[in-house]
Amino acid sequence: MYGYVTVNRQALTDAEFARYRTFYCGLCRALRLRAGRLSRFALSYDMTALFLLLSALYEPAGEAGRERCAPHMIRPHDFVCDECADYAADMSVVLAWHKAADDWQDERRLDRLAFRRALAPAYARVEARWPDKCRAIDEAVRDNARMEREGLPDIDAAANATGRILGEIYAWRDDFWAVPLRRLGRALGRFIYLMDAYEDLPGDRKAGRPNPLAAMAERPDYEAEIKDILTLEMAEAGAQFERLPIVRDADLLRNIFYSGVWSRYAALQKDKEGKPT
């Protein structure tokens, strides 16, 4: 997605952060093995959090190891891999495929077009493995694009489209835990959409680009209102997370969902406080 679903490093011990890194490296390894070396550009903190969450919930048998790779040729690093890593790698490819298409459409960036074409064989394999999910995600992406073409719609409708994407991705299996996982993903997706719009607003204004928060930003209580909305979305995500019987890595996941997701928001507020009025 956009790198919002990450850890709050300052609130983690060195051991906890090292544990998190084993999942990040495990996802990178799964991407390389399933989709080729170039697919590692699809690696994200957002899908690392998904891998960590699903692995903690389902506790599948997996592999732990230590290796060197192209980005880390000198110093070997630890990793963990299991079928949750494989699934998170597949969904990383799907998200990167759509993001590259969006970047090409919006900015005509040739590098993004080239990346999308390079991902095509990997995306085809993922689509064959997860046809229903790829179909649902594609429909949500198309709905979002249509609403943007029609002139940046009501903010709830646009945020809900991103929520549908994350909801579909988070509901890995059609089982008892699919409902809370889908609800968690939907709330997180809405948060990400709104947070991305909030972060982009100053740049969009300067460049004359449309932004779904432009009208709301004219209100005198805009900052308080957007913070309330973001807080409500993460409260819903947290409530659904607490429904899951997670013991292993629970503190690390709470760091992500209760603190890490707010890291960019906190940085933006700090920047605003440092600017002259």
Interior/surface letters 39-64, b for 16+ CB within 10 angstroms, e for the rest: bbebbbbbbbbbbbbbbbbeeeeeee
**Residue 220: per-residue pLDDT:** 94
Q: For 214-223, what is each residue's pLDDT tens digit?
A: 889 999 999 9
Identify the top-confidence range among 54-68, 89-103, 163-177: 163-177
277 pLDDT tier (thresholds 50, 70, 90): very low
77 pLDDT tier (thresholds 50, 70, 90): confident
Question: What mean pLDDT comes out for the span 86-107?
Answer: 87
pLDDT over 90, % of the chain: 70
| Pair of tokens at residue 80 | 């963990």
**Residue 25: per-residue pLDDT:** 94
Which range (29-38, 102-111, 202-211, 243-252) has the least confidence? 102-111
Going along the chain, which residue ranges are E strands?
Answer: 62-69, 72-82
Report pTM.
0.93
State residue 248 phi and psi, 5-degree precision: -65, 130
Q: Evaluate if residue 103 carries a pLDDT over 90.
A: no
198 pLDDT tier (thresholds 50, 70, 90): very high
pLDDT over 70, % of the chain: 95
* Burial (CB count within 10 angstroms: exposed 0-12, middle 13-18, buried 19+), residue 36: middle
